[in-house]
Amino acid sequence: MNKTLLIILTTALMSMSFADNPIKVGDSVPDFEGIDDQGRSWKLSDHLRINYLVVYFYPAAFTGGCTTQACSYRDLNKELAMMNASVVGISGDEVNNLSLFKKEHNLNFTLLSDKDGVIAKIFGVTVNNGGTNDTEIAGQKLQLTRGVTISRWTFVIDGNGKLIYRDNNVNASTDSQTILEFIKTHEQRKTCR
């Protein structure tokens, strides 16, 4: 069995157990896996060597709000890194779409493909039917498909794998700034204890 199929099946089984009871703030996040924008396996436990992991779900690459949100995370990446935080964006797009999206907008963080919505279900994020969108890259018109359309929600996981923040009413243009402020406040509270 190839590694990609094994990852999809493992994550699907995990999501089934969380579908009716998604994780809540304070819960441990299960060690999910996905395929990144380079077609490589990405596993949560390999990325918790930091204080904060921002996990944001978005509907589709190359659409207005999603591009705004991704570029704002790109632009605040240095400030987030100074807080020992990293970012991963997750959508139902195919890996190739994510690779094009990352290159076209010079995104400096990982994108994961969740074309079946199994990772989104672990977090309780609403998943709808997939779709297509047309875009033009370097003068070439492309029609990009996605397996599912995932709602725009954002989460923060601490270095111990605990969910410490959840927002299911995300504003695409201010999400990254909201997250940066949350992390700053969280750090201040930790130092006051």
| Pairing relationship of beta strands 52-57 and 140-150 according to DSSP bridges | unpaired
Of these residues, 44, 48, 53, 66, which one is catalytic? 66
d(CA 187, CA 75): 21
In the chain, DSSP assigns E strands to 33-36, 41-43, 52-57, 85-91, 110-113, 127-137, 140-150, 153-158, 163-167
Alpha-carbon 64 to chain mean position? 17
Nearest-5° angle of CA 142, CA 146, CA 135? 25
Annotation says 192 is catalytic: no
List active site positions: 66
